[in-house]
Structure 1
Amino acid sequence: MSGTEILRNDHRQIRRLEKIIVKCYSILNEGNDVPFSDMQIMVSIMSEFLDAIHYAREENQYFPCVASYDSLKQEIRVFMIEHEFGRRIALNISKHLQRWKSGEDQREPVARFLKAYAIYLDDHLTKENKFFDTAEEQVLSPDEEKMMYEEFQAVTAVATKLDEMIKFIDYLESTPWVKD
């Protein structure tokens, strides 16, 4: 396995979350409820998996390695900006969810920001997957791919947290509101 393949595997898990988010905002827009605890799990996955694990892998290791060849720098710049955009959407979801939980009617902004996040994820992941293809084919050597894979695997705390986040996604997929 390669560093790029680990990132692609992350994307597969993120796509699962994206489907859950779409289901959630659709239910909210219909005027039905989703448990606050489940929405908080989604926000937790956004911050602890997407931001702290996946984006960190890309921003701290993958992108710098690709950019070191003076290659794909504009694409990397765009992805860094998009990551920050995703973080801001997630922060807004969290902020409005907390207000809603405290008694304010925040259904509409929570649903709106969840929808924005799902749209962002779809667009961003599609572009990044094409970027990975290019980087893999034209820039990174097999030795670099192996080195990144080993670096990604060496951080056992990340592996433990990743397993936990995948279990949260499994849980959300099994809830009645997602299954219906």
Structure 2
Amino acid sequence: MSATNTLRNDHKQIKRLDKIISKCSSDINAGKTIPFSDLEKITLIISEFLDSIHYSREEDSYFPCVASYDHLKKEIRALLIEHEFSRRIASKITLHLKRWKNGEDSSEPVTRFLRTYSIYLNDHISKEEDFLERAEKEILSKEEEKEMFEQFQSDMAITQKLESIVKELDYLENQPWFKTS
């Protein structure tokens, strides 16, 4: 296994999350009920997985390693800006979900920001996949890949958190609202 493949595996889970977010947004927009507990799970996965694990792997290890070769810096900067955009959308989802849960009619902004987040994920993951392909082929050595992979794996708390997130995705994909067309 390599650091690049680890990030690609993260992307597989992110694509699962995207399908859940997209379905959730469409259903709320259509007037269907999604349990607040499921919506809160989605926001937790966004913050715990995307921000705390995936973006952290990229921002703290992968991007600096690639940038040390003075290559793909423009692409890295663009991806970092998108990560910040992601955090801002996620905070808006959380804010409006709290307002909605407290009795305010905030379903529309929750739906809008979920849809925006889904659009963002599709676009961003596509760009990251292209970036990973280039970094793997043009820049990173096998030793660097292995070293970063070992660094990713060394934190047992993150490994356990990732396992928990995969179970949460499984749970959400098995909810009646997700399974219906």
Aligned twin of 1:60: 60
Give aligned-pair identity as a percent: 58
**What are the within-5 Å matches in structure 2 for residues 27-106 of structure 1?**
27-106=27-106
**Residue 15, structure 1, aligned to residue 21, structure 2:** no
How far did residue 127 of structure 1 move?
0.4
Amino acid aligned to 2:110: V
> Which runs of 5 or more structure 2 residues have no equivalent in the other structure?
none
Amino acid aligned to 1:134: R
Deviations 1:25-72 (A, max 9, x none): 000110111000000000000000000000000000000000000000
Deviations 1:74-97 (A, max 9, x none): 000000000000000000000000
SS state at 1:162 partner:
helix
> Which runs of 5 or more structure 1 residues have no equivalent in the other structure?
none
Deviations 1:10-36 (A, max 9, x none): 000000000000000000110111000
Amino acid aligned to 2:59: E
Aligned twin of 1:151: 151
* Structure 1 runs, 4 residues or longer, greater than 6 Å off: none
Distance 1:90 1:166 in 2: 19
SS state at 1:167 partner:
helix
Q: TM-score, normalised by structure 2?
A: 0.99
Distance 1:22 1:118 in 2: 6
Distance 2:4 2:155 in 1: 16
Aligned twin of 2:111: 111
Aligned twin of 2:164: 164
Distance 2:29 2:103 in 1: 18
